[in-house]
Amino acid sequence: MEIPIWTVMKLTMVMIHLVRAACSSVVLLILPFVVLAKQPSAKVTLDEATRQAGYTLELGRIDLGIQPDSLVTATKAWVRRVKNYPDLPNHLRAISPVYSFTIQDEIDWLTIPLQLQYHLKGKKYKYDRSIYYYDTTSETWKELDSIVSRSDQTVTTEWGALHAQIVVAADTTDPFGPSKIKQFSEFGSVAAASAIVLDEATGDVLYSSHPDSERSIASMTKLMTAYVLFQEGIDLDAIATYHDSYDQVGGSLRVSEGETMTMGDLMYAMVVGSANNAAYALVGNAGYSLDEFIDSMNEVALELGLEHTIFADPSGLAVGNISTAHEYAKLMRAVLQNDTLAEMSATSYYEFTTLNYGNFHDFNNTNPLLWTSGLEITGSKTGYIDEALYCLAMRVEQDDHAIITVVMGAPTLNDRTTESYRLVNWAFDNYAW
């Protein structure tokens, strides 16, 4: 029998309504437990049962947790991404989108606070992170007390507001230090008399062995010499004249009385080639007497808070150039803020020709790890005299994080190089930022 077209249409409409009703029932059943919210906003109407049980509203990586019985009445709640919002101050770097949330209720403030949680999803950041809200009264972004879980990769806070704009941001003035990974492995002992590894951003000590033992630092002294000269405004393009009075024993630049070069050439010779006579030539051509300059070195050390660091000459030949592994690491943190000096110290090879005699000079950096290790070394200085034994300080970067290693009093050149290399790899393998 043929069914009239009108009957078919009516049956079709009935089926559509049944499907819609069924789908609506399913949605009502699952809403209290799951919210699929990849869209720019998420909202929910809370019935009495859900108000009593509590509810988590999710939008992307942000969770808005309404605690059980925290609301007075059954109500509506929503959260959405905001495109137009007040500018963040310069020191804050937004990690999340800016969100706006609203909960309708008879009360103005929740005595049982909301739980706000943002999922970082494995992202690494150099600086501390918190949840911030926009205070409409002061028209400023204000920080909420937040807990960062590195294992769960979340930022969480509790707050009683019913309406606000919020964002997760990193405070670039407050570095966020590294933490040990779950499979952390101790480094063990070193052959060197003292050693330390610091996180550059925070100064956190990641490893140490006799870090406060006072020892002669040999040619690592030269970084302070360079730093003081830069602080005094050295002109690297200025012409310097060499005099025999600058001659020193040990590693030296082979130049003669009256030979001329730039102050920059001398700086590279001192920092890269560790030439002792270059240190004295720099001091003399900068217009200082030796005593005046040594006084300046010690004044700067005190300004940096280095209470166990003393300088006796600009080259490091004197046994009386003293520091500790910990204090020298602090010195490295300060010195390497000068980008020009940092770049010089990590230069593998340098060459120049004297201006008046035309004599060619070249030298490799005294730290072979610069070209053999594959490490991203962005600051370096070696040292050796009999009393100090073998010393090496480095800044090494990986994944936008930097550490400083200092090894002092290593028995052999190989110990100095090998232990520095192992400390770097151990630190990056066993800490997460």
**Boundary-marking domain end, from 175, 200, 231:** 175
Block residue for tokens 């003035």: 173
Question: Rounded to whole angstroms, how far apart are CA atoms 154 and 177?
Answer: 16
Q: Where residue 88 falls among pLDDT bands split at 50, 70, 90?
A: very high
Q: Residue 398: give its domain's CATH number.
A: 3.40.710.10
* Range among 26-30, 120-124, 172-176 rated most confident: 172-176
Rounded to an integer, what is the distance from CA 297 to the centroid of its chain?
A: 28
pLDDT at 357: 96
Query: Is residue 18 situated within a structural domain?
Result: no
pLDDT at 127: 65
Q: Reduced to 3 states, what is the DSSP secondary structure of residue 81?
A: strand
Question: Rounded to whole angstroms, how far apart are CA atoms 307 and 309?
Answer: 6
pLDDT at residue 117 tops 50 = yes
Looking at the structure, do residues 281 and 132 belong to the same domain, yes or no? no
Q: Which residues, including other chains, have CB under 8 Å from residue 150's CB and lie 6 or more apart?
A: 179, 432
Pairing of strands 140-143, 147-149: unpaired
- The one-character DSSP state at 163 is E
pLDDT at 125: 59
* Percentage of the residues of the chain whose pLDDT score is greater than 70: 88
**Boundary-marking domain end, from 119, 143, 175:** 175
Question: Rounded to whole angstroms, how far apart are CA atoms 56 and 264?
Answer: 63
349 vs 106, more confident: 349
Q: Where residue 175 falls among pLDDT bands split at 50, 70, 90?
A: low
Looking at the structure, do residues 97 and 238 belong to the same domain, yes or no? no
Q: Residue 165: give its domain's CATH number.
A: 2.60.220.30
- What average pLDDT does range 189-194 have in this prediction? 97
Residues 313, 322 contacting (CB under 8 angstroms): no
Question: Rounded to whole angstroms, how far apart are CA atoms 92 and 97?
Answer: 13
Amino acid, res. 433? W
Query: Is residue 67 situated within a structural domain?
Result: yes
Residues 391, 384 contacting (CB under 8 angstroms): yes
Q: What angle do CA 422, 366, 281 make, to 5 degrees?
A: 140
User: Which domain range does residue 45 map to?
Assistant: 34-175
Query: Is residue 7 situated within a structural domain?
Result: no
Q: Which residues, including other chains, have CB under 8 Å from residue 267's CB and lie 6 or more apart?
A: 226, 229, 234, 236, 278, 282, 344
pLDDT at residue 14 tops 50 = no
Q: Which residues, including other chains, have CB under 8 Å from residue 305's CB and lie 6 or more apart?
A: 330
Question: Rounded to whole angstroms, how far apart are CA atoms 252 and 273?
Answer: 8
Q: Where residue 34 falls among pLDDT bands split at 50, 70, 90?
A: very low
Query: Is residue 10 situated within a structural domain?
Result: no
Q: Where residue 172 falls among pLDDT bands split at 50, 70, 90?
A: confident
pLDDT at residue 22 tops 60 = no
- What average pLDDT does range 126-133 have in this prediction? 83
User: What would the pLDDT profile of 213-230 be if each residue is shown by its tens digit?
Assistant: 999 999 999 999 999 999
Reading the block at residue 190, the tokens are 């070193």
231 vs 14, more confident: 231
Query: Is residue 141 situated within a structural domain?
Result: yes
**Boundary-marking domain end, from 175, 192, 225:** 175
pLDDT at 126: 58
Number of domains observed in the structure of the chain: 2
Q: Where residue 10 falls among pLDDT bands split at 50, 70, 90?
A: very low
- E strands present in 21-61: 41-45, 55-59
Looking at the structure, do residues 109 and 189 belong to the same domain, yes or no? no
- Identify the H or E element spanning 409: strand 401-410
Question: Rounded to whole angstroms, how far apart are CA atoms 3 and 415?
Answer: 95
Reading the block at residue 390, the tokens are 């073998």
- Identify the H or E element spanning 30: helix 5-30
Looking at the structure, do residues 150 and 112 belong to the same domain, yes or no? yes
Query: Is residue 3 situated within a structural domain?
Result: no
Looking at the structure, do residues 166 and 245 belong to the same domain, yes or no? no
Q: Where residue 28 falls among pLDDT bands split at 50, 70, 90?
A: very low
Residues 4, 40 contacting (CB under 8 angstroms): no
pLDDT at residue 29 tops 70 = no
Query: Is residue 357 situated within a structural domain?
Result: yes
Half-sphere exposure of 129 (CA within 13 A, CB side): 23
Neighbouring C-beta atoms of residue 47, cutoff 10 Å: 14
Going from the C-alpha of 161 to that of each of 105, 108, 236, the distances in angstroms are 11, 8, 58
- What average pLDDT does range 392-397 have in this prediction? 98
Looking at the structure, do residues 333 and 318 belong to the same domain, yes or no? yes
* Percentage of the residues of the chain whose pLDDT score is greater than 90: 78
Query: Is residue 137 situated within a structural domain?
Result: yes
Looking at the structure, do residues 218 and 72 belong to the same domain, yes or no? no
Looking at the structure, do residues 158 and 267 belong to the same domain, yes or no? no
Looking at the structure, do residues 375 and 423 belong to the same domain, yes or no? yes
Looking at the structure, do residues 254 and 371 belong to the same domain, yes or no? yes
361 vs 2, more confident: 361
Looking at the structure, do residues 268 and 142 belong to the same domain, yes or no? no
Question: Rounded to whole angstroms, how far apart are CA atoms 171 and 91?
Answer: 6
Task: Please give the mean pLDDT across all residues of the chain.
Answer: 89
Looking at the structure, do residues 208 and 164 belong to the same domain, yes or no? no
